[in-house]
């Protein structure tokens, strides 16, 4: 006569319960962060008198050409390592950084009787993430660097903005963000994400060779109001 074995339904142990709860929290945080990254950011010149609750704003720095007439001369003086203190405003930085949107290269006009050649399709960059032209803003002793980032796989742009100051690491000054926002997500609250964004975009920005060569000579950096001051011995 066969014996029937009584099998109790599996009851999860405390380890499984804790692991399941932890995974739920992690998944919730990731999904919430992704949603904030793609939440639209409003680009403005000045913060509205009554900001919309929950809305993230990107305040663009000025690029007034009338205030950047000495930008090229100051750049040359810095590259040559001229001693003294060089005062730079955001208009000059944005002028040197380049236009917000580069002008398209005009196509060659076809000769009479020739058919116009079809426009060549734009080649994909191949980069999953690519940063655009940076925009600088200096207010209240704080430097803000913002730039659009294109997510190639989704063909979507998000705004990355960092606010902070310069600090000396070893013998070289580096920009250290106090706040770092991707889209509407404050990634400074996510240590690993903050490190990745800083290395991927801020630390990897292309710098002209002459400027990179002169940068280690800077002995002091200060921000007074809306002026960045670089001192070289």
CB-neighbour burial class of residue 158 (10 A; exposed 0-12, middle 13-18, buried 19+): buried
Does 154 reside within a domain?
A: yes
Does 85 reside within a domain?
A: yes
Say what the pLDDT of residue 198 is.
75
- The total of structural domains in the chain comes to 1
Does 21 reside within a domain?
A: no
Say what the pLDDT of residue 151 is.
76
Does 1 reside within a domain?
A: no
Does 35 reside within a domain?
A: no
| pLDDT in single tens digits along all 233 residues of the chain | 455 555 556 666 655 555 555 554 445 445 455 677 778 899 999 999 999 999 999 999 999 999 999 999 999 999 999 889 999 999 999 999 865 444 444 444 545 555 544 444 444 444 566 778 899 999 988 999 998 888 767 778 889 999 999 999 988 999 998 998 988 988 888 777 777 777 776 666 678 899 999 999 999 999 999 999 999 98
Residue of 196, 113, 201, 124 lying closest to 161 (CA atoms) = 201
The answer to whether 182 and 160 are in contact (CB under 8 A) is yes
Say what the pLDDT of residue 206 is.
74
Spatial separation of the C-alpha atoms in residues 176 and 222, rounded to whole Å: 14
Say what the pLDDT of residue 80 is.
93
**What tokens were used for 34?**
């992704």
**Segments of the chain assigned E as strands:** 42-44, 57-59, 84-89, 129-131, 135-139, 142-151, 156-169, 172-182, 185-186, 220-224, 227-232
- 190 is in which domain, residue-wise? 40-45+55-99+125-232
- φ, ψ for residue 81, nearest 5 deg: 75, 35
DSSP-derived 3-state class of residue 64: coil
Does 164 reside within a domain?
A: yes
């Amino acid at each position: 006569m066969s014996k029937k074995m009584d099998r109790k339904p599996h009851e999860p142990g405390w380890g499984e319960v804790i692991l399941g709860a932890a995974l739920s929290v992690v998944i919730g945080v990731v999904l919430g962060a992704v949603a904030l990254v793609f939440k639209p950011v409003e680009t403005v010149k000045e913060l509205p008198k009554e900001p919309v609750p929950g809305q993230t704003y990107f305040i663009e720095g000025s690029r007034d050409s009338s205030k950047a007439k000495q930008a090229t001369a100051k750049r040359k003086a810095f590259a040559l390592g001229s001693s003294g203190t060089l005062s730079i405003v955001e208009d000059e930085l944005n002028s040197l950084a380049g236009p917000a949107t580069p002008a398209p290269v005009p196509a060659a006009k076809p000769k009479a009787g020739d058919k116009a050649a079809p426009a060549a399709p734009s080649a994909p960059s191949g980069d999953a993430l690519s940063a655009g032209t940076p925009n600088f803003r200096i207010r209240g002793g704080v430097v803000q660097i913002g730039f659009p980032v294109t997510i190639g796989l989704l063909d979507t742009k998000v705004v990355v903005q960092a606010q902070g100051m310069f600090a000396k690491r070893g013998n070289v000054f580096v920009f250290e963000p106090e706040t770092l926002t991707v889209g509407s997500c404050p990634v400074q609250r996510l240590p690993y994400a903050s490190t990745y964004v800083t290395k991927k975009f801020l630390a990897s920005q292309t710098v002209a060779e002459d400027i990179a060569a002169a940068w280690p000579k800077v002995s002091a950096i200060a921000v007074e109001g809306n002026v960045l001051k670089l001192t070289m011995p």
